Structure 1
Amino acid sequence: MDLLECGNCLTDEHVELAERLTGTQKKLKCTNCGDEWLRGEPARQARSSPTLDEIKKRFPKPGDVDPVKLARVDELKADFLRREPEPVPNVAPYWKKYQWVFSAEGLPTADPQDLKNFANSSVGANPGNMSVFNEAWNEMGTEVAAAQVRRTIEYLLRGTSPSALEDRLTALINDATPNAMRGFKESLLTKVLCIAYPEEYLTILMYTGVAGKREIARSLWGLELPAPESTTWTKGRLILWSNNLLRALLGDGFRHQQHAAEFLWWAKDRA
């Protein structure tokens, strides 16, 4: 039977549109007998993507840690803090210099050599092998490469699209923005954040690796942080959220974030 016909009257003579629904679906009505029926297909319900806050709520929290693990790390922390840390004399002036270099006022005129030196320096935190960056720098030429590094740092620290820092960080790592610089990736971007926001970022420059944030969280607190390949846990989110988690677990008592990072490296094989 044609769905335009009334099933009771077997004719479409008295059929009219009662209501237009979603998609191609309509409600029809026979004015002769009063019967109503549906014709067509409803629109498919699109699954809404979770918001950044909803995703973040699923990330491990300090409350997920076994109390026994917490107590053991507290013991290690007390032992570590009884020792007077040896100051590294060149870190403070280096940090201060690059805080100016990366500032909104200093970055536009930053000396290209300072930018290249930063990428290859282990002062304060070692970014690892920079051969890809150095190759890109040489291929592009000093002025062009320096201009691109400035764009990278400006976008990371003060970009507005996307508004979330973790998403700008992801875009730079994944070359998903024209502001990205070849070879200026996770370790260097994280080091920029450590210098620009020294109270907020631990000088642990990799999310995963021999002594990455993920491995430290597992070793010290028994937390299994998401794998970098997970689709909703983008790299930038993992980097920033794991940093915040470790800082929350560490608590107070450290002189600065470098001191806290030193404790994590010292303690990870003693837990």
Structure 2
Amino acid sequence: MVLVCAVVVARWLSTDADVTSAIAEAEQLAADAAANGVDIPTSATYVEPRYQLALQMPSDSAGLAAALMLVGLVTASMSVGGEWRTGIVRLTFEPASSRVRPTLVRLVVWWSAWTIIGLVALGTGVAGLTVVGSHRGLSGGVELGAWVGVILRGGFVVGAGALVGAAFATALRSDAAVVALVLGYVLVGEIVLPALLATSGYASPGTLLVDFVVSNDIARPVVMSCGQVPRCEIVYASTAGSPVVYAVVVMTMLGTSALAAWRSRTSIWR
């Protein structure tokens, strides 16, 4: 809820419905440039002060889903890994065949709980952003499919993150190991590699997940009325998401669950 409120409040504070002042400022900037011998159209200097719901809500919600996924992954790994580290899990004398079921049940519990948390949080966030767009922005051009699709795909991603975190914590028997892996991945995969490979078109997995949650269809532009402004952003319709990403996420969930189940049958069991 802190993340949800932070996104909504930040958008409320950073947007302004005063289009007249923005147009006047753009015209003044264009006039100053012309006085210095640079011919710049007003549309090039205009910055939209309003919150454009159809354009910005899907991206904001996708970023919120990525943050919730990370929180769910770390929370699940610290809880499950902490149980192993402190010795709460005590099935030493259970036969190996009976250890798989409680392991998988635990993963399902974390997956289902955080899927619900993700859906509720994203639904609340979209509702708050709708209020921002209605009072301090532009609510035209919004399709119902964009709202529903972003929420459902976001909840899917959040739940998957929690399951993967719990599975890795079970396989590694440690919360610290999973947190270290996550920090290492964020440092390398989301910071270092994008900076080094920016010119080669590299897209980090986090970026791909955000794009998946947004899922804009560039073939179906949506007509949006921006009022009497020098420029209007292009808005695209939202699709159901890439089947490839669905398959990758599901296979990751199944693979990590299988790893956790296999590790539950090994001799290292406290």
Report the TM-score, using the length of structure 2 for normalisation.
0.20
More helix per residue: 1 or 2?
2
